[in-house]
Amino acid sequence: MSVVVVVGAQWGDEGKGKVVDLFTERADLVVRYGGGANAGHTLVIEGKKLVTHLVPSGVCHPGKGCVLGDGMVIDPHTLLDEIAECQARGLLMKNELVVGRGAHVILPYHKLLDGLREDRGATRGKAIGTTRRGIGPAYEAKAARRGVRVRDLAKPERLRELVAGNLDELTPLIVHLGGSAPTQAEVTKWIDDALRAGEQLAPYVGEAGRLVADAINAKQHVLFEGAQGCLLDLDHGTYPYVTSSSTIAAGACQSAGLGPTQIDSVVGITKAYATRVGSGPFPTELHGEAGERLRQAGGEFGATTGRPRRCGWLDLPALRMGVRLSGMESLALTKLDVLANLPEVSVCVAYKLDGKELDEPPTDPEDLVRAEPIYQTFPGWGPLGTAKSIGDLPPTARAYVETISGMAGVPFCLVSIGPDRAETIRLSDPFG
């Protein structure tokens, strides 16, 4: 196995940062393939927190290549801040980072539009609850073939022309949504800032697709790091409460420009319970004290926006759907320790809708809201200690883990029982 894709199995925030960090030990190249600064990875290096939004979690292993694929939408200023922060910690000092020339650029008017739409949506109970990082508007521009790409940051005339063309169409929309028409001075500043950022990023810009292909051909270990989770996928997630990119494993092929036959293995990451940020159906959500307990125990606050995450029981039909959508062959279970010391732990094993039992969530959001989760409940368990194998876990925790894997239909490759690298039960290595 030399090409492995890691994807979140639910709505993101499954703890991909720790898992990617562990898998990077055996990887030569780590590739982020979709989304932008809407993602947030909290990494702990020598006891100090490092939060990255764009740079892959593999950054903690100096000397390993990090690639931002062409399918991403990149805020150049956020990226420069992150590079500076990494370098202040001695990371990314050896030309490890390559930013795809074809990736799209997020400009201030994308963020402005994202925020205006959210504000307007909120007054009508229709906000998506986006991260307001301009992700949707930047992908809209891309699909409309009006986007600004990283390569355009090195061409001042082209950039000016693209921005003017975009704003010609978008200014009436900005005003319609309650914003002020950008002044000429503002637009000039946006462009000058972008050009300056482009100059600073120039040493990192390269042919990401070719680089990845060369690494694969050279039989190097390539790890694709998914962002968000399968249920936030633009085509297959809980639309419209999704992000604007392809978050499933196939997105890796699209973004990096490689064929599906080159992927050797897909690992899904699932938390031992479920969380969601933003709006949208979440049938196993726990409200009140029960949800608050999980939120506090799991530190469930967004790494990007600081928003409290909605918390609930693990949803196995949704997990099955994630397994199917991404072709997962193994799973990494994270944050099992967070469930310790609860009187009991439940897991949704099926849905009931109109008298029928469903083994995957209904795909129509209106049906999903009506569907009733069917739960299996386990007696709680105490602290997990320093378990090194599944057999070391308390019997009920073990039964819980085995039920998840049995119902998802794929084995676990690791179970995480704490934030530290050492607090991990390793069962198999995705690189073989």
DSSP SS3 for 321: helix
Q: How far is the CB of 136 from ligand IMP (least distance, A)?
A: 5
Query: CA neighbours within 13 Å on the CB side: how many for 335?
Result: 24
Quickly tell me which residue has 């992908």 as its tokens. Answer: 139
Q: How far is the CB of 108 from ligand IMP (least distance, A)?
A: 16
Radius of gyration of the chain (CA): 22
Which has the closest alpha carbon to 236: 249, 253, 252? Answer: 249
Residue facing ligand IMP at closest CB distance: 278
Which one, 36 or 100, has the nearer CB to ligand IMP?
36
Which one, 9 or 191, has the nearer CB to ligand IMP?
9
Which has the closest alpha carbon to 346: 283, 391, 430? Answer: 283
Of 2, 3, 4, 12, which one interacts with ligand IMP (CB under 6 A)?
12
Which region among 5-13, 218-226, 291-299, 378-386 touches ligand IMP (by CB under 6 A)?
Answer: 5-13
Query: CA neighbours within 13 Å on the CB side: how many for 125?
Result: 0
Distance CA 220, CA 217 (A): 7
Q: Rule CB under 6 A: is residue 255 a binding residue for ligand IMP?
A: no
Q: How far is the CB of 218 from ligand IMP (least distance, A)?
A: 31
Which one, 115 or 206, has the nearer CB to ligand IMP?
115
| Positions in 207-236 near ligand IMP (CB under 6 A) | 227-228, 232
Q: Give the other-Cβ count within 10 Å of 145's Cβ.
A: 6
Of 6, 20, 60, 277, which one interacts with ligand IMP (CB under 6 A)?
277
Query: Residue 13 catalytic?
Result: yes
SS (H, E, C) 16-69: HHHHHHHHHCCCCEEEECCECCCCCEEEEECCEEEEECCCCHHHHCCCCEEEEC
Of 4, 5, 9, 13, which one interacts with ligand IMP (CB under 6 A)?
13
Of 166, 243, 326, 330, which one interacts with ligand IMP (CB under 6 A)?
243
| Positions in 383-412 near ligand IMP (CB under 6 A) | none
Which region among 169-177, 208-216, 240-248, 287-295 touches ligand IMP (by CB under 6 A)?
Answer: 240-248
Q: Rule CB under 6 A: is residue 238 a binding residue for ligand IMP?
A: no
Q: What are phi and psi of 256, to 5 degrees?
A: -95, -10
Name the active-site residue from 41, 104, 221, 236. Answer: 41
- Number of residues in contact with ligand IMP under rule CB under 6 A: 21
Q: Rule CB under 6 A: is residue 131 a binding residue for ligand IMP?
A: yes
Of 15, 71, 100, 136, which one interacts with ligand IMP (CB under 6 A)?
136
Query: Residue 70 catalytic?
Result: no
DSSP SS3 for 393: coil
Give the tokens for residue 284. 């196993």
Quickly tell me which residue has 């409290």 as its tokens. Answer: 308
Q: Rule CB under 6 A: is residue 334 a binding residue for ligand IMP?
A: no
| Positions in 24-83 near ligand IMP (CB under 6 A) | 38-40
What does 150-189 look like in DSSP terms, one character per residue? GGGGG-HHHHHHHHHHHHHHHHHHHHHTTPPPPPHHHHHH
Q: Rule CB under 6 A: is residue 263 a binding residue for ligand IMP?
A: no
Which one, 32 or 133, has the nearer CB to ligand IMP?
133
Distance CA 84, CA 233 (A): 31
Catalytic residues: 13, 41
Binding site for ligand IMP (CB under 6 A): 11-13, 38-40, 128-131, 133, 135-136, 227-228, 232, 241, 243-244, 277-278
